[in-house]
Structure 1
């Protein structure tokens, strides 16, 4: 870690130093938003669920324009606008007693979610390059989980459904936490410009449109791989997994809560070791290993469903989240590094927007499929679909490898130039 920190440029250190603080506020509110809407503000559960999905839908809608704006005006400008939207949304939601107010609030939060991903990744990729970029994305992911996990623990201990002010306070804290990155962008990072400077005697550098990006086979296969990985991964982890664990494996809500803590702990503890192990290896091969690890995790969860209400079921549920987290530590450094190494400063905002859209589409479709299968008692088919999806990710990674330039696949320059690499 000391060597990694020493190798980072000053701007990279500034960016990384505030991740835990920023995500702590998000961790305070994310696990409890639907509880707040339904049990504190009195909205019915169906409408509360619709509001939660509206965050993802709004994010998906604004992702493409945000990528284009990032390429045109720079990542800083888009990030600042998205943070202002988040502050407004959290503040409004803290006092939302009317459905319309809550709807506007979650849409503002969704704008932040959709705009911040392509802009933030573009900013990171501009500041950090080479092999260091992959390590940065991995460390950033570990710190995001640390901040969200710590926020979730504190929120769980602090909030009280009988006292609405406790919920108001955590949303206000979430809003205040956004001022930290704003200060960073207006202060130490104010001179970071992600838009390429025009060459003397030429006009501004022409941006690369979405159609141009999607004509590249590597981009198309990468987008499909990301979608399927999220569909069987994060799209299930926050919806299908808890529903299966509670309704099929019949474990307690305390077990499910502890399972999420296990997931965060494994990521934080293993990410640095994993980064050392995968350095210099083909990223597509790393993704194949991730897919196989996730296959094992879903089999463990399926085993838990065969022994409902038992200690073996509890062990299976906890093992699922731990093994799944191991796969996450392989995925999170690899996919953003591939996406950003395929792009340049003219197209990085759009490239990250395409990848963000595939992530969000998988996260939206995943819970729908899980709900349909589990609601009809098709738990065995549900596990089979997840296992097949994981194996599909491995196949897509093999297909992608044949279309991916060596530098984007993390192959060292010397190895890429050798006859064996060819």
Structure 2
């Protein structure tokens, strides 16, 4: 895949044409397999609290438990990805997600919910490093950033459609509707499982360790001693804590308890999120290609601060049309920030990583993500459970300001190339495969 295949230069059609077969398969089923996730993502906290009668504090702790499990398995998962390949780890993780959703569909007690979340956490901890390592093995340079961005848009297309369907169908007065959507989430896992045991059964994503390199060179301690990796890890943690950790737990809780909007409004808010991402991701990719990724993250932090301020203002008009509009506006601004975040952090991480350590580097980044999702729901549940809504919003806005400072710190510690700046050489002709790309593609097929 050449730079000219990226959507910023030749359009989406040319990007698709230049993708290896493995990349096409991975992208072609993303929206379908994430549809089930969208059915349940906006409503899990509501399901636990309003349907199963679990207190908001405990619901927040249970949501955080998913990330605790994920964090525990992320390190071993990254090492196993480097050793055995991404396909095998993705298969195990996706199968665990299926089992967890089935258990959650019928869970009526906190203990059974926790059991279901063990399986969900295992998937989140194992599958993310494996998937990113696989993507990095089949793409390189600017095209890698483009791939992560396009994949993110397709993920949100599936999640957003699922959110609309779930919002229209799920009803807190009819617990069976929640059982149905969690079973549908489980069924959607059959798509990636079929892909991994079928068309992608020969894909592994491994790279051999350089001859003479010691085992200590690939340890997590050695990786974290790299200042660039350490600061990117801290930045990821904070971004997830004030972003996704709050969007999945803090946002729906705030929207229901403070803004006092219906579940349908929450579902449509996620649809707005999807519409913005799908509608603007390709435009954003064109605008950010060749620009400093750290500066892009600073703009993202400003957008997120604005989004949370808008959500906070809805509390002054609780239950009104204005509150519903504010909830929708929150997700529009938040989504625009997401289009800046998702192509950049994975690209920085994988451009820093040696080929044979991609699993571990992505595991470090995933560990930071999981840590943020552990703390996020706990803090949201505690603060909103005690009606500290104003302090909750203020905390997130301050966190956005800290993200800007961390992005500056990262910028001083990574090379211009890792930061997304072009080398200045002429772009290869369409269809040209560079030696590095040939190496990456060769590492994906056994």
Q: Does 1:150 align with 2:158?
A: no
What is the CA-CA distance between 1:167 and the residue it aligns to? 4.3
Give the corresponding residue for 1:194. Answer: 205
For each residue in 1:140-186, what CA deviation from the matched residue of structure 2 results, as whole angstroms up to 9, or x when unmatched?
Answer: 11111111121222234445667665544433333332222222223
What is the CA-CA distance between 1:280 and the residue it aligns to? 0.9
Contact 2:100 2:118 in 1 (8 A): yes
**TM-score scaled to structure 2, two decimals?**
0.83
Q: Does 1:208 align with 2:218?
A: yes
Contact 1:206 1:346 in 2 (8 A): no
Contact 2:258 2:389 in 1 (8 A): yes
Q: Aligned equivalents of 2:161 and 2:393: distance in 1?
A: 30
Q: Does 1:361 align with 2:371?
A: yes
Question: For 2:150, which of 111, 120, 139 is the aligned residue?
Answer: 139
Contact 2:61 2:378 in 1 (8 A): no
For each residue in 1:189-246, what CA deviation from the matched residue of structure 2 results, as whole angstroms up to 9, or x when unmatched?
Answer: 23323222367x8799986110111000101110111111112211222233334444
Q: Does 1:179 align with 2:195?
A: no
Contact 1:280 1:412 in 2 (8 A): yes
If asked which structure has higher relative contact order (CA below 8 Å, sep 6+), I would say 2
Report SS of the residue matched to 1:406: coil
26-35 vs 209-218, which moves further: 26-35
What is the CA-CA distance between 1:266 and the residue it aligns to? 1.0
Contact 1:57 1:110 in 2 (8 A): yes
Q: Aligned equivalents of 1:396 and 1:358: distance in 2?
A: 14
What is the CA-CA distance between 1:374 and the residue it aligns to? 3.9
**TM-score scaled to structure 1, two decimals?**
0.88
Contact 1:71 1:207 in 2 (8 A): no
Report SS of the residue matched to 1:31: helix
CA shift in 2, pair 1:229/1:96, >3 Å:
closer
What is the CA-CA distance between 1:295 and the residue it aligns to? 2.2
Contact 1:235 1:367 in 2 (8 A): yes
Q: Unaligned stretches of 5+ in structure 1?
A: 416-422
Q: Aligned equivalents of 1:93 and 1:300: distance in 2?
A: 33
Question: For 1:19, which of 30, 53, 64 is the aligned residue?
Answer: 30
Matches within 5 A, 1:19-418: 19-34=30-45, 36=47, 50-96=61-107, 101-159=112-170, 166-197=177-208, 208-414=218-424
What is the CA-CA distance between 1:2 and the residue it aligns to? 1.1
Q: Unaligned stretches of 5+ in structure 2?
A: 1-11, 426-446
CA shift in 2, pair 1:349/1:318, >3 Å:
same
What is the CA-CA distance between 1:274 and the residue it aligns to? 0.6
Q: Aligned equivalents of 1:43 and 1:288: distance in 2?
A: 38
Q: Aligned equivalents of 1:198 and 1:303: distance in 2?
A: 53
Contact 1:209 1:347 in 2 (8 A): no
What is the CA-CA distance between 1:29 and the residue it aligns to? 3.0
CA shift in 2, pair 1:248/1:109, >3 Å:
closer
What is the CA-CA distance between 1:285 and the residue it aligns to? 1.1
Q: Aligned equivalents of 2:218 and 2:424: distance in 1?
A: 30
CA shift in 2, pair 1:75/1:100, >3 Å:
same
CA shift in 2, pair 1:170/1:48, >3 Å:
same
Q: Aligned equivalents of 2:135 and 2:68: distance in 1?
A: 25
What is the CA-CA distance between 1:260 and the residue it aligns to? 2.4
Give the corresponding residue for 1:10. Answer: 21
What is the CA-CA distance between 1:120 and the residue it aligns to? 0.8
CA-atom RMSD in angstroms: 2.9
CA shift in 2, pair 1:389/1:101, >3 Å:
closer
Contact 2:42 2:266 in 1 (8 A): no
Report SS of the residue matched to 1:184: helix
Contact 2:163 2:270 in 1 (8 A): no
Q: Aligned equivalents of 2:49 and 2:391: distance in 1?
A: 31
Aligned residues: 415
Q: Aligned equivalents of 1:101 and 1:399: distance in 2?
A: 43
